[in-house]
Amino acid sequence: MDLGKTIKDLRKQKGLTQGQFAIKCDITQTYLSQIENNQRDPNLSVLKTISEKLEIPLPILFFQSMTEEDIKSDKREIFRMIGPDIKNIIDEVFSI
């Protein structure tokens, strides 16, 4: 799971700097940077705030963060085949 990269990518798609987004989320820019670089794991409360400010449901944020390593080895081929299409549909539905 690459939650940090997903948050960073979505923040950038919204046209927000780290500083601007940190203020919206009521966290420090340093903490946001650590989250985006996968150096710190945010608690559920912070993740809820981040997902709200990104205007994306938390479960969708988690799904968008999934990598092949998160999938059982016997299911990875299916994930490779349908994962990108599902992520594209999610992007369209949530205007990501």
Domain total in the chain: 1
Residue 55: partners with Cβ closer than 8 Å, 6 or more residues away? 94
Domain carrying residue 21: 3-93
Per residue in 26-76, pLDDT tens?
A: 999 999 999 999 999 999 999 999 999 999 999 999 999 999 999 999 999
Q: Evaluate if residue 95 carries a pLDDT over 90.
A: no
Residue 16 belongs to domain with CATH number: 1.10.260.40
Cα 42 from Cα 82, distance rounded (Å): 29
Query: What pTM did the predictor assign?
Result: 0.87
